[in-house]
Amino acid sequence: MAEKAFNPFEMAQRQFDHVADKLGLDQGTRDFLRTPCREYHFLIPVRMDDGNVKVFRGFRVQHSDARGPAKGGIRFHPHETIDTVRALATWMTWKTAVVDIPLGGGKGGVICDPRELSDREQEKICRGWVRQVARNVGPIQDVPAPDVMTHGQHMLWMMDEYEAIHGGRLPGMITGKPVGMGGSLGRTEATGYGVVYTIREAAKEIGLDLKGATAAIQGAGNVAQYTLDLLQQLGTRTIAISCWDNTDKKPYTYRCKEGIDFKKLMASIDKFGTVSPAKAKANGWEQLEAGAWIEQEVDILVPAAQENEVNAGNADKIKATVKIIAEGANGPTTPEADEIIQKKGIFLIPDFLCNAGGVTCSYFEQVQCNMNYFWDRDEVLRRLDLKMTSAFKAVSALAREKKVYMRDAAYMISIQRVADACRLRGWV
């Protein structure tokens, strides 16, 4: 019998059900929170550069707006699925709740590969996506943002289309915009820096000195880049980083035992997080198989790529030296892998806490847009550090008090906050 394909939404629901049992949630609240409130499926026709029309499939899922407007990124990916978008929208609800910002959870996507599209074709997809949901998103309904293989320029095209449709200046309808066009200073590095703020706090708890510690990171996109950057500033050597190679159409791990330098990484990478093999070789980085990142003898592992990357098939390969796993990606660890990690006694920082720096700074961007007053970078990062540290300490304290896994503690706080909002509104 063929092995069942991984379904991230089923995993998200399993995680929810597990904690709903611990909280003793009533059946009505369970039924309401384990499934998205709304979904939009649509087609985006685009006249391509060769004159032919190609039709792309787009999605927007709004899981919950009980605590505020839905919030979540838009992914451009050739293997995007509605179940992935559902899972990510669900996790966004818990993410905004765990850091206690007044937003809900949403997610969007388009099945496409921007690496193979011209800028004009990507712009047409962005504008087409907005036209399909212009009545269903916006600053008081649902606020999109960048995600996998989307960036500030995509957000700006979307904002421009939305403003043209609604006839006004509405920069708060979307976040992750370029600085000077409604974007926030500090937003580019926010998710990666947020990951490191939680690593710093975890290291304090377990007595790990980050100065001289080592790390391996899966992924080489925005989150991975700025995680490596701040770890390097704190004295931690990242000895391995994995990424997709657009030439070979497969991922690799690059290793440098002296530590991968942030500036060299940025000089060797393109806007999609693809390391040039030639530049890596020139840097003296050793090229290994894709899965080698998880097998390194390091203190810290940071899965910062996609879902289902730490699973029953590779979790046993995690070395005894690993003390912290910080989930920079959304849903990188399966429940089966969680069991192995717990048995190994590794301190895990769950995804929707660990990578919440991005949505927290997006919230700051939205606030600044609505005020039409923008903070300097130091002020943004100070506020970000305060929010991330406060959220981490609350989750860690509950985990110790209830003697539960960090993921369960984070879920318990988030689900309870959203459930309380639903009850106060009279929905359940």
pLDDT in tens, 122-167: 999 999 999 999 999 999 999 999 988 999 999 999 999 999 999 9
What does the pLDDT look like over 310-343, one tens digit per residue?
Answer: 999 999 999 999 999 999 998 999 999 999 999 9
What CATH number matches the domain at 184-428, 3.40.50.300, 3.40.50.2300, 3.90.180.10, 3.40.50.720? 3.40.50.720
Q: Which residues pair with 61 in a beta bridge?
A: 39, 107
Q: What is the helix (H) or strand (E) element at residue 382, kind and residue range?
A: helix 377-402
Residue 149 in 3-state DSSP? coil
The pTM score is: 0.92
Write down the domain spans for the chain.
38-177, 184-428
**pLDDT tens-digit readout, 358-394:** 999 999 999 999 999 999 999 999 999 999 999 999 9
Q: Which residues contact 87 (CB under 8 A, 6 or more apart)?
A: 8, 9, 11, 12, 307, 330, 331
CB 346 within 8 A of CB 322: yes
Residue 245, pLDDT score: 63
24 torsion bin: left (phi>0), alpha (psi -120 to 50), beta (else): left
Give the pairing of strands 105-111 and 53-64: antiparallel
pLDDT score recorded for residue 251: 81
10-residue mean pLDDT series, the chain (428 residues): 78 94 96 97 98 98 98 96 96 97 98 96 98 97 93 96 97 95 95 98 98 96 95 98 72 93 92 82 92 96 92 95 96 94 97 96 95 96 98 98 96 98 98
Q: Measured between alpha carbons, how far is 329 from 302 in angstroms, rounded to an integer?
A: 8
CA 140 to chain CA centroid, nearest Å: 22
CATH of 38-177, one of 3.40.50.1000, 3.40.50.720, 3.40.50.10860, 3.40.50.2300: 3.40.50.10860
Alpha helices in 113-171 (DSSP H): 119-133, 152-166
Two structure tokens written together for 364:
């700051």
> Catalytic residue among 4, 22, 54, 107, which?
107
Which residues does residue 238 pair with via DSSP β-bridges, in sequence order?
215
Taking the CA atoms of residue 162, residue 165, residue 171 and residue 175 in that order, the dihedral angle to the nearest 10 degrees is -10
Q: Quick check: do 38-177 and 184-428 share a fold?
A: yes
pLDDT of residue 250: 73
- pLDDT at position 138, please? 95
- Residue 343 designated active-site: no
CA distances from 148 to 309, 341, 355, 403, 410 (A): 15, 27, 14, 35, 24
Distance CA 289, CA 276 (A): 15
**DSSP states along 236-277:** -EEEEEEEEETTTTEEEEEE-TT---HHHHHHTB-TTS-B-H
What are the residue ranges of helices labelled H in 73-177?
82-98, 119-133, 152-166
